[in-house]
Each structure stands twice: as C-alpha cells, then as structure tokens.
Amino acid sequence: MEQVLAPFAELDLSSKLVISIAAGITVPRLAEMLGTPADIIRVMPNTPSLLGLGMSGLYAPESVSDSDKLYAGQLMEAVGKVCWVEQESGINNIIAAAGSSPAYFFLFMEAMQKEAQAQGFSEETARELVQQSALGAAQMVVANPQLDLETLRAQVTSKGGTTAQAIETFKDHKLPDTVSAAMRAAIKRAEEMESLF
C-alpha cells in the first residue's frame, strides 16, 4: 500500500478530501502513508453497492469539515444507505455487520440450495426457491419497519408446525451463537489487519 501511495507525497492535498475504502488502514496510518496533510474519510461499503443496494459505514475525524462529510455521505448514498460512526473503531463493527455480511447470507443460501438439491430439485429450481424466498424475506423487513425481526419470524412460525421445528433445530445447533462468534471473528481480524500496516 505504501508503494501505491508514494506518488501522493509529492502532491499538495492540504485542501483535498481523501476517501479510503481500504480495510485495516486507519486514518492516522493513511495520513502517514500519504506523507502530506489531507482530510481523510474512511468508508466501508459492501458488494450490494454494485446494484445500488449497498450499506456503507463512514468515519471522519473532527478535523473534516461538515461540507466534506456531506459530500462523502451523498456519494455513498448514490449506491445505497449509509451509517456514520463516531469512533474509528466502529468501522470494524461495520465490517462485521455489513461489509462482510453479504457472504454470510450467501453461505446460508448456499446451504439451503444444496439441501434443496439433495431433496430432488434441479440446481436451477433450488436456486430460484432460495433466492426468491431470501429476496421476499428481506423486502418484508424493509416494508415493515414497525415490526422487529423476532415478530416477523414469529408471524411465520406456527406452534408445533414445520417452521417451528426448523427454528428449534437451528437453535439446538446454536445458530445465534455461531453468528455472534463469526461477527466477533471478523472484528478481531479487522483489528489484526490494522497492526499489519
């Protein structure tokens, strides 16, 4: 990264805004690598930004002007929603909750598709069953902001029914604990990466 940024040391960035999407490189470290004073905002987007459905976390030190913060926020709102964090360490939490999370959903969908195929569905049909259900579930969350996720889940879960049995199986296999552990592992790795630069 230092080699990539070396040419910037010759530029006057004192009146410029630098927006970084590099994971693991803190604002102070990036300023050091640039070798010239600059206003820096860290952004952690995720891949759904490619479809305009992204979720980006942003952090700006107090030295960054409100107009630059507004610009960065509007820039990222063009590809989805934004969440500002007050402390730079919050970017690592954004990584766990949003930056890396599309892969979590893909893994869950992958497992569902694999099992649907094992039950006799073709690959194409299994994928359609899973992706349309995931899309519909996400849209239900968006369309019902007044309902928490637990309520939405309960609305699908009849006592003693098939969904209830599936949910109990997930709980027996400690799915919520696994999700927490995975997110904490992502945060820990982000913190470790900071020490590498």
Domain coordinates in residue numbering, the chain: 2-95, 101-189
Cβ-based neighbours of 30, under 8 Å, separated by 6 or more: 5, 18, 20, 22, 40, 42
- Tell me which of 1.10.3730.10, 3.40.50.300, 3.30.450.20, 3.50.50.60 is the CATH number of domain 101-189: 1.10.3730.10
How large is the average pLDDT for residues 102-116? 98
Determine the CATH number of domain 2-95.
3.40.50.720
Residue 128 has pLDDT above 80, yes or no: yes
How large is the average pLDDT for residues 115-131? 99
How large is the average pLDDT for residues 133-154? 98
CA-based angle 8:14:17, to the nearest 5?
80
The predicted structure's pLDDT at residue 165 = 97
The pTM (predicted TM-score) of the whole model is 0.90
User: Cα separations (Å) of 97 from 71, 149, 182?
Assistant: 24, 15, 10
How large is the average pLDDT for residues 100-126? 98
| pLDDT tens-digit map of 53-71 | 999 999 999 999 999 999 9
